[in-house]
Amino acid sequence: MNRLELCDISKKYKNKPALDGVSLTLDTGIYGLLGPNGAGKSTLMNIITGSLRPGGGTVKWNGEDVRTLGAAYRSLLGYAPQRQGLYDAFSGRRFLAYMAALKGIPKKEMGGEIDRVLSYVNMGAAADRAIGTYSGGMRQRILIAQAILGDPKLIVLDEPTAGLDPKERVRIRRRISALAGDKTILLSTHVVSDIESIAKEIVLIRAGRIVDHGSVEELCRRYGVSGLEDVYMQLFGEEETDGPADTL
Ligand code: ADP
C-alpha cells in the first residue's frame, strides 16, 4: 500500500508564509505539482522528503508520522532536489556509488543496482566520465538515477526538466512515465506540458496554498476548457513564468 498524507502543512520564512495549510493525500501513480515560481513547490517537496521541518502539520506514510518512521521512511524514498550540489569531479558511477552507500544499499548489491539505474536513464556510456563534463540533460538523468536507487516506493522529483531543451524534456518525461506502476511519484514543474500527458492527478499550487487538484479531464471540465494550459492560464495567467515555450 502507498499512502502519503500531508496534513495541514505550513512553513514560514521570516514571518512570510511559504506554505499555508496544505493538505493532500497521494496513492500510487504520478502526481504533478504545478504552480508558478515562488508558489511553494520546493518548500513542500523538502518537507515531504524530510529535508526541511514544517512549521506546522504532519507528513504521514501509511498512517504513520514520517518522523517516527525515520530510517524506514528514508529507505522507501527517492528524491531528486532541484539544486543539487553535484560532485563535478566525480564520475557518474562514483556519484551513484556514494549515494547508494548513503542509502544503505548493501555492498554486494551496489554494482548491479548502479548498472540498473544507469541503463534506466540511458547513461551507461557516460557513467565513467566526470559529472563536470555532462550536459544539463545528462545531469538531470544522473539525478533521476540516484533517486531511483534501491527501487523506492515514493519518488519526489523537483523540476526534473529544468533547463532542458524540448527534446530532452520529452525523453525525461517518458522515463518518468515508465517508472510509475506501483510507485507514488510527485513531480513539480511550472511547465504544463511536462505533466499534462503523464500525471494521473494535477495539484495546482499558488502562494503556499493548493488552489485545486484533480485529473486533467476533471480540471478541464471544471474550468470549461479543453486543455491544462487553459486551466493554468485561468488560475495563474497573470503570473510570470520563465519556462521555455514547449511545442512538442
Ligand atoms: P517554488 O518551488 O514553487 O518556486 P519555493 O518553495 O522555492 O517555491 O518558495 C516559496 C516561497 O518561499 C517564495 O516566496 C520564496 O521566495 C520563499 N523562500 C523559499 N526558500 C526560502 C529561504 N530559504 N529563505 C527565505 N525565503 C524562502
2 burial via Cβ count (<10 Å: 0-12, 13-18, 19+):
middle
Q: Where are the domains of the chain?
A: 1-76+153-248, 91-152
Residue minimizing CA distance to atom 12 of ligand 1: 18
User: Which carries the bigger pLDDT value, residue 239 or residue 10?
Assistant: 10
pLDDT score recorded for residue 180: 86
Q: How far is the CA of 140 from the centre of ligand 1 (A)?
A: 21
Residues with Cβ within 6 A of ligand 1? 13, 18, 35, 37-43
- Indicate the top mutation candidate among 42, 186, 240 to test ligand 1's pocket, ranked by most ligand atoms within 8 A of CB: 42
- Please check the confidence at residue 218 and state whether its pLDDT lies above 50: yes
pLDDT score recorded for residue 247: 42
CA distance 228 to 234: 10
Q: Find out whether 166 and 247 touch, Cβ atoms under 8 Å.
A: yes
User: Which residues have CB under 8 Å from 225's CB, separation 6+?
Assistant: 231, 234
Q: Percent of the chain, pLDDT > 90? A: 75
- Please check the confidence at residue 226 and state whether its pLDDT lies above 90: yes
Which of 20-24, 85-89, 92-96, 204-208 is the least confident region?
85-89
- Please check the confidence at residue 88 and state whether its pLDDT lies above 60: yes
Q: In what order do the strands lie in the sheet with 154-158?
A: 77-80, 154-158, 184-189, 29-34, 201-206, 209-214
Q: What's CA 71's distance to the chain center, in Å?
A: 20
Q: How far is the CA of 190 from the centre of ligand 1 (A)?
A: 14
Q: How far apart are the first and last CA of the chain?
A: 35
Closest CA to 76 of 52, 55, 59, 93: 59
Largest CA-CA distance found in the chain, in angstroms, rounded: 55
Q: Return the CATH fold of 1-76+153-248.
A: Rossmann fold (3.40.50)
Q: How confident is the model at residue 114 (pLDDT cuts 50, 70, 90)?
A: very high
Residue minimizing CA distance to atom 16 of ligand 1: 38
Q: How confident is the model at residue 166 (pLDDT cuts 50, 70, 90)?
A: confident
Q: How far is the CA of 71 from the centre of ligand 1 (A)?
A: 27
Q: What is the mean pLDDT of residues 90-115?
A: 95
pLDDT score recorded for residue 240: 53
pLDDT digits (tens, 9 = 90+) for 29-47: 999 999 999 999 999 999 9
Query: What phi-psi label fits residue 151: left (phi over 0), alpha (psi between -120 and 50 degrees) or beta?
Result: left
pLDDT score recorded for residue 245: 47
pLDDT score recorded for residue 84: 65
- Please check the confidence at residue 157 and state whether its pLDDT lies above 70: yes
- Please check the confidence at residue 113 and state whether its pLDDT lies above 70: yes
125 burial via Cβ count (<10 Å: 0-12, 13-18, 19+):
exposed
Residue minimizing CA distance to atom 13 of ligand 1: 38
Residue minimizing CA distance to atom 23 of ligand 1: 13
Q: How far is the CA of 155 from the centre of ligand 1 (A)?
A: 21
pLDDT score recorded for residue 63: 97
